[in-house]
Every structure is written in C-alpha cells, then in structure tokens.
C-alpha cells in the first residue's frame, strides 16, 4: 500500500530522548501505544495510556528482560502483509492485532565496552529482541513504518500530521534501508568485540 494509516505502535527504546513528545503526538492522533519495561514506565509517568507487551503476549518478561517481545502476538502483528488476505485471515483466527509503527533503538553496546566490563557482563548488553523487531519491521516496510533513531521523530510527525496519521511508502522504504544498515553496524561491532576478547 502507498499510504499506511498508523493506528497501533510498538515503542521500545534505550535512548529515550524526545520519546514522550513523539508518543504524545501518536496518542493525540488516536494511535494505540504498546511498550516494554522502562519505556512504558516513562510514558505512564508522562500521563499517557500505554499497553504493556506482557498484556499483548499474555506472558511476563522473563530472564531479566532477555525475553519479552519474542512472541507470535508481537511478531505476527509486525510481519503480517496487510495486502495479503491470507495473512489477515490468519491473524484474525489467532486473535493477533497488527502493528503499523515500530520504534526501537538498541542497547548501547559500545557504552558497555567503553566501561571496560568483563566479557560476561558485556554480553548482557547485546540486544536480541531489538534487532529482531527492527529487521522484521524493516522487511515488512510495505505494511509497517520502522523508526530506528530519535533523529527521525520530527520528520515522521511532520509527514503524518497533515495526512490523517498516515505515512507514505517512500518514507517507509528509506527508514527500512537505514534500519538494516544500523543493525548490520551493530552486529559488526559485536563481532569485532568478541573476536578480540578471550573467554
């Protein structure tokens, strides 16, 4: 589809700069907000109505947050092709709602490295759910807007405001391309770190 109406957004960020303003904009436009852990806490404190990912999945965050968004009720909603009737039929049968916007930025692994953490501690700062969500939503840019960086909030708001909370395909493609570049750079940084640090 060309213009994607944004009705449901998943927000899960490490860098929370500008997030409250962005979330307020979405909420004011009638977008349902779903979020995780610290992100949700911040938005609740700002007075926003935010559904927890655990409420969506029916499953608590486990293993100190290692597993929270890795669930069919999240990824089914992110990966469904909205132009494919079979996908929509499957979601309907399973009671899965689609996501239209995924806003994620990753654990700051470079910061963990700079702190001189030992290998085991540093590994805990490797994001798993974040890159998975970013890759899934970027792959499905025909049906989802991925927002991988706080630098894009203003652009997204400027485009969505006059269009009835919809976003164009070209913007979604550009965001997808940048997202894959960011995930690739993140993985490369981790690969280089593990290659130079003995167990």
| Mean pLDDT, the chain, whole residue set | 93
69, 10, 191, 112 alpha-carbon torsion, rounded to 10°:
-90
d(CA 111, CA 108) in angstroms, rounded, equals 5
pTM: predicted TM-score of the whole model, two decimal places: 0.93
d(CA 150, CA 6) in angstroms, rounded, equals 18
Containing domain of residue 69, as a range? 4-195
Long-range contacts: 123-128, Cβ < 8 Å, 24+?
124/64, 126/190, 127/14, 127/186, 128/66, 128/70
Q: What is the CATH number of the domain that holds 27?
A: 3.40.50.1380
At 152, the pLDDT band (50, 70, 90 cuts) reads very high
- Percent of residues, the chain, with pLDDT higher than 90: 75
d(CA 60, CA 2) in angstroms, rounded, equals 36
State the total domains in the chain. 1
Q: Which of 139, 120, 121, 103 is nearest to 14 (CA)?
A: 103
How do residues 96-141 score in pLDDT, each as one tens digit?
999 999 999 987 888 877 888 888 888 888 888 899 999 999 999 9
Confidence check: pLDDT of 62 > 80:
no
């Amino acid at each position: 589809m060309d213009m994607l109406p944004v009705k449901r957004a998943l927000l899960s960020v490490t860098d929370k700069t500008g997030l409250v303003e962005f979330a307020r904009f979405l909420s004011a436009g009638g977008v349902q907000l779903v979020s995780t852990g610290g992100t949700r806490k911040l938005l609740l404190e700002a007075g926003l109505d935010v559904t927890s990912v655990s409420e969506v999945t029916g499953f608590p965050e486990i293993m100190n947050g290692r597993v929270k968004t890795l669930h069919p009720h999240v990824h089914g909603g992110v990966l469904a092709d909205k132009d494919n009737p079979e996908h929509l039929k499957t979601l309907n049968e399973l009671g899965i709602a689609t996501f239209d916007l995924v806003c994620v930025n990753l654990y700051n692994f470079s910061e963990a490295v700079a702190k001189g953490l030992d290998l085991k501690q540093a590994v805990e700062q490797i994001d798993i759910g974040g890159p998975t969500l970013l890759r899934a939503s970027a792959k499905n840019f025909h049906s989802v807007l991925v927002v991988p960086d706080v630098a894009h909030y203003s652009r997204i708001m400027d485009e969505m405001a006059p269009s009835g909370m919809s976003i164009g395909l070209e913007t979604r493609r550009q965001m997808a391309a940048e997202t894959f570049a960011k995930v690739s750079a993140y993985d490369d940084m981790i690969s280089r770190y593990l290659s130079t640090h003995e167990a």
